[in-house]
Structure 1
């Protein structure tokens, strides 16, 4: 009987923890404003897009694809 109570308690704690983690994730995704309220960035922002080497590689890839498609 004691073991059954411990298992139920453990599963209730797991459910509470999971709800807390999911609630926190949803809160961050929905309400994240980024750097400031007038800035478009937020939880979905990809930080490495602003790296010059990545930007240059993307532009080269874009040019190569445009040349092949024409």
Structure 2
């Protein structure tokens, strides 16, 4: 990597700044990913709750039909 710095101190400072910038960029990207994952998790949890509700409703309807056809099963 070419730099306009000549002294070892300037070069070291440049490299340190470059490294810090990369690390901060990585942290920022990871925060972005975490935010996206949290949003996706919320959406998936909502879908799961909806599906569970639909499943339970269908299960209750099926149970009621069976009980109507077989009243002897009631205690």
TM-score, with structure 2 as normaliser: 0.45
TM-score of the pair, normalised by structure 1:
0.48
Q: Which has the higher helix share?
A: 2
